[in-house]
Amino acid sequence: MTQPLKLTEAYRTEQRVKRRFAEAVRQFGLIEPGDRLLVGLSGGKDSLALLELLADYRRRCPFEFEVKALHVRMQGIDYLTDTSYLEDMASQCGVTLLVRTASFEADRNSRRTPCFLCSWNRRKQLFETAQAEGCNKIALGHHQDDILHTALMNLSFNGTFSTMPALLRMRKFPISIIRPLCLEHETDIAFLAKQHDYVKQVKRCPHEKESRRTEAATQFEQLCRFAPEFRQNLWHALLKEGKLVETE
């Protein structure tokens, strides 16, 4: 016998994701009337979910705000995304997609890995495009797992208690960085991606599994098994110490 729609796992997950999204916006003041958002659309499941959730939130929101998306093609990295699919997704969400190309050269400094250089140049493109398009906020698709993994990495390797904040106000630019997925669990985003049949990247980046972030994710899972309350405790510690809303 088919379950009623409201009892299905897909329905419950989607409602939970939308509820957490709206709560993140409210709790951290991420979106305000008249905002002009630029979404960093990489083509991965997280950025695609962010695009869809922003479109849904905008339809239900009592005030108006604008959304544009940017996909940055990075030369010199052996990966491939389906830009036509991203354009279709953006169009379905009522969002204009901008496509820019960037590149970088190998650096002799071993600390400046391809992942670091790629990320740095993508962010540069995001800021330049946001300013050119008159956007006052850049929306990134980092979820709660990303934020907690970063905190664990910084504590382990840098000896600092810090992370990627849900809201980062920039002093040098009239731009803020927001992470509306900050309350979402990666498992829910992955489930949503499967339900919505997101098309995966044609060819994934060969450096994806080489970073310390992968190691941190494994350590995080082990800590959660050791202490099931670890996720919530680490999140509340970041919240209590003011690490989720910062000015840089």
The answer on pLDDT for 179 being more than 80 is yes
Question: Would residue 176 count as lying in a domain?
Answer: yes
Contact assessment for residue 205 and residue 122, using Cβ atoms and an 8 Å cutoff: no
Domain that holds residue 185: 7-145+165-209
Return the higher-pLDDT residue of 196 and 117.
Answer: 196
The answer on pLDDT for 202 being more than 60 is no
Q: Could you give the C-alpha distances from 18 to 50, 140, 185, 237, 242, in angstroms and in order?
A: 11, 17, 12, 24, 25
Question: Would residue 103 count as lying in a domain?
Answer: yes
The answer on pLDDT for 23 being more than 80 is yes
Task: Find the mean pLDDT for residues 189-215.
Answer: 76
Identify the H or E element spanning 186. Answer: helix 186-195
Lowest mean pLDDT among 20-24, 72-76, 160-164: 72-76
Compute the distance between CA of residue 46 and CA of residue 193 in angstroms, rounded to an integer: 8
Question: Would residue 228 count as lying in a domain?
Answer: no
- Total tally of structural domains belonging to the chain: 1
Return the higher-pLDDT residue of 197 and 116.
Answer: 197
Question: Would residue 139 count as lying in a domain?
Answer: yes
Number of separate helices (H) and strands (E) present in the chain: 8, 7
Question: Would residue 187 count as lying in a domain?
Answer: yes
Reported pTM: 0.91
Question: Would residue 99 count as lying in a domain?
Answer: yes
Q: Compute the Cα dihedral for 107, 206, 208, 39 and give only its sign.
A: positive
The answer on pLDDT for 38 being more than 70 is yes
Compute the distance between CA of residue 192 and CA of residue 14 in angstroms, rounded to an integer: 7
What pLDDT is attached to residue 203?
47
CATH assignment at residue 203 = 3.40.50.620
Question: Would residue 234 count as lying in a domain?
Answer: no
Question: Would residue 13 count as lying in a domain?
Answer: yes
Q: Across the chain, what does the average pLDDT equal?
A: 90
What pLDDT is attached to residue 76?
67
pLDDT classification of 213: cutoffs 50, 70, 90:
confident
